[in-house]
């Protein structure tokens, strides 16, 4: 019977494989058939519709086709920041674009610095004379940060504005691990390196609380300054400090309270909003009663590609968790990024290098692999400028150290100069089950790390020594790069996380600006005219066939008709996102490299989980429940 069951499983596996191959062939053929048809023409005039369903990111993650074929995408749409910036810039100069529409009904957010960069692009379009209209059923921090840059902010009468600010709870696993008999062997350097605290404490340490509070205060101050500058007549501070009183004064109607506070300009449903835009951009015509002439963002971006003339300045993208080896877009594989840069250097096209970083760090060896490749560029005499996005912390800062100049955003999260390692052992778990372990050794390190009996003092000393050695190397790299005394670096290191506004004051970054500013600075350092250069992005492209499968199997992506339940649904789904983020972070720490330069406290759990977050959370749950 065992043989029969095994044969049956083999036959079922072969059948499933053949079905999958058949589906791939079918959808590939369908895609080719659709591709033969001429692309729809871009409207000659109308409103550019910036439908930000999903999240705004530095680099979109690659689609997992098997997940989609299984009928469960498990991921939100992602809009690339630079595509949005480029589209807004070209729209500002186009006579055909009569207005810009921000559809924020299903916007799931992004990092604060990323949203701020999009806001700067909106300001430039508005300064060029383009009216900007924002619409949503409700606004939270991220959505309102963008909407504040609009000419008119519309709000559904059934919605509201909820501004909470950074902060919130973190999940601590120490009590659960004690109940399960799991021991976390922790090795770290840095009083503020709190990534391992959930495995050794039931609450945050005083040092972690101090650092986290300072970071939250700095980010909130930057947010208030950004939004206040964009919306100077709004009673922003009063609304944030006394939301209940202001809503009560409006008889409990949140939308009216937002009007009274000057946070929004008009109340109306989508039909009323569309009619308002149609008055500026023109009516859609046909069977549409109240539609407007719309120019979709993706088609506009495709029709206005990146600049192809001028002296190329390389822009190396490092986005996502830093891992060893190869990785698809959305993750920073050390080998992948190193090979991409070395291949480009071999072509001898670029005259300077900008490293665009949006990463909380990860593997120390992966970070060093990338840093080593950047040093190759410096060895060729190229100036190197680092452009920090929303995150450039821990391992993200490690790879910043070769830079001649570091440019960030006031809301960039950086620093976290510290190192840690963590190994779970299960001697307590075995004892609870009545199990024990024993064995023999030929050297003090035989069988180490011993997860059954616990690690030996010799192994612990070796690991802690390695952690301290890497920390000395880390702080030494920072001291050399930033031209700071090592004693001063150790004062501002210790794993502490800094906002960009504070990092500039303590010398971790040189100034504020965008990627374009970094490219211009790199050109000046290379003695080139910034007006005569162009960015040449060095990154692994998204797989065309995987994106084809996603387009075919995810028809709701970017349909421009976001549901009004998105705002209230996002509030209800907030706990799910927080839990997924906490579990994903735990899985990365427990199953990641033995030694890590990672800043888990930097990663926001407020935005929509990315595919790797969902996979990591599922992996940890599967491990914990088996």
Positions annotated as catalytic residues are 193, 394
Reduced to 3 states (helix: H, G, I; strand: E, B; else coil), residue 407 is: strand
Closest to 294 measured CA to CA, from 558, 25, 570: 558
Q: What is the DSSP string of 439-458?
A: ---SSTTTT-S-TTT---HH
On whether the CB atoms of residues 99 and 130 are closer than 8 A, the answer is yes
Q: How far apart are the first and last CA of the chain?
A: 26
The C-alpha torsion from 586 through 590 and 596 to 600, rounded to 10°, is: 0
CA distance 321 to 105: 29
The b/e string for 379-391 (b: 16+ C-beta within 10 A; e otherwise) is eeebbbbbbbbbb
Q: Which residues contact 491 (CB under 8 A, 6 or more apart)?
A: none
H helices of 73-205, in order, are: 81-92, 112-127, 141-147, 174-180
Q: Measured at the alpha carbon of residue 615, what is the angle toward residues 611 and 617, in degrees to the nearest 5?
A: 115
CA distance 391 to 195: 16
φ/ψ of 280, rounded to 5, equals -100, -45
CA distance 493 to 191: 9
Taking CA atoms, 561 is separated from 51, 200, 291, 328, 547, in Å, by 9, 47, 12, 30, 21
């Amino acid at each position: 019977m065992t043989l029969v069951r095994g044969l049956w499983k083999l036959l079922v596996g072969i059948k499933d494989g053949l079905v999958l191959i058949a589906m791939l062939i079918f959808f590939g053929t369908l895609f080719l058939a659709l591709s033969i048809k001429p692309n729809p023409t871009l409207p000659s005039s109308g409103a550019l519709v910036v439908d930000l369903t999903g999240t705004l990111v530095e680099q979109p993650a690659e689609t997992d086709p098997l997940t989609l074929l299984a009928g469960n995408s498990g991921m939100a749409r992602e809009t690339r920041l630079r595509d949005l910036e480029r589209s807004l810039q070209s729209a500002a100069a186009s006579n055909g674009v009569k207005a810009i529409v921000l559809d924020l009904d299903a916007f799931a957010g992004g990092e604060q610095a990323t949203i701020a960069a999009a806001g700067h692009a909106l300001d430039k379009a508005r300064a060029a004379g383009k009216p900007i209209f924002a619409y949503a059923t409700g606004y939270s921090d991220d959505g309102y940060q963008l909407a504040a840059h609009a000419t008119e902010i519309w709000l559904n009468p059934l919605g509201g504005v909820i501004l909470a600010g950074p902060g919130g709870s973190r999940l601590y696993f120490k009590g659960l691990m004690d109940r399960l008999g799991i021991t976390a062997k922790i090795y770290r350097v840095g009083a503020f390196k709190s990534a391992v605290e959930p495995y050794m404490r039931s609450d945050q340490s005083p040092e972690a609380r101090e650092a986290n509070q300072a970071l939250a205060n700095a980010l909130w101050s930057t947010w208030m300054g950004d939004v206040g500058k964009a919306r100077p007549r709004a009673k922003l501070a009063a609304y944030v400090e006394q939301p209940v009183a202001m809503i009560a004064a409006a008889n409990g109607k949140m939308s009216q309270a937002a009007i009274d506070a000057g946070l929004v300009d008009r109340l109306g449903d989508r039909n009323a909003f569309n009619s308002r835009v149609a008055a500026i951009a023109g009516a859609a015509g046909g069977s549409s009663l109240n539609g407007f002439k719309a120019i979709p963002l993706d088609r506009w971006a495709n029709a206005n590609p990146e600049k192809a003339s001028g002296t190329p300045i390389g822009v190396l993208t490092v986005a996502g968790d830093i891992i060893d080896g190869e990785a698809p877009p959305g993750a920073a594989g050390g080998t992948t990024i190193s090979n991409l840069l070395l291949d480009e250097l071999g072509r001898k096209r670029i005259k300077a290098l900008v490293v665009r970083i949006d990463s909380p760090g990860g593997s120390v060896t992966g970070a060093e692999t990338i840093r080593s490749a950047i040093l190759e560029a410096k060895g060729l005499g190229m100036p190197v400028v680092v452009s920090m996005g929303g995150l450039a912390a821990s391992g993200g800062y490690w790879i910043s150290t070769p830079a001649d100049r570091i440019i960030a955003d006031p809301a960039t999260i950086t620093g976290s100069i510290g190192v840690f390692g963590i190994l779970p052992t299960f001697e307590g778990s075995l004892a609870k089950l009545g199990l024990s372990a024993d064995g023999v050794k030929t050297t003090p390190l035989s069988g180490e790390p011993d997860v059954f009996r616990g690690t030996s003092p010799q192994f612990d000393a070796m690991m802690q020594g390695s952690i301290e050695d890497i920390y000395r190397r880390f702080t030494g790299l920072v001291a050399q790069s930033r031209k700071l005394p090592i004693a001063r670096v150790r004062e501002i290191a210790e794993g502490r996380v800094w906002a960009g506004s504070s990092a500039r004051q303590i010398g971790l970054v040189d100034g504020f600006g965008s990627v374009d500013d970094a490219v211009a600075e790199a050109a000046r350092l290379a003695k080139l005219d910034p007006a005569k250069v162009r960015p040449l992005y060095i990154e692994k492209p998204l797989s065309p066939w995987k994106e084809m499968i996603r387009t075919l199997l995810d028809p709701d992506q970017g349909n421009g008709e976001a549901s009004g339940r998105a705002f209230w649904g996002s509030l209800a789904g907030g706990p799910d996102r927080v839990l997924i983020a906490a579990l994903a972070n735990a899985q990365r720490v427990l199953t990641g490299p033995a030694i890590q330069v990672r800043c888990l406290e930097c990663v926001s759990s407020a935005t929509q989980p990315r595919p790797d977050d969902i996979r990591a959370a599922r992996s940890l749950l599967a491990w914990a429940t088996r």
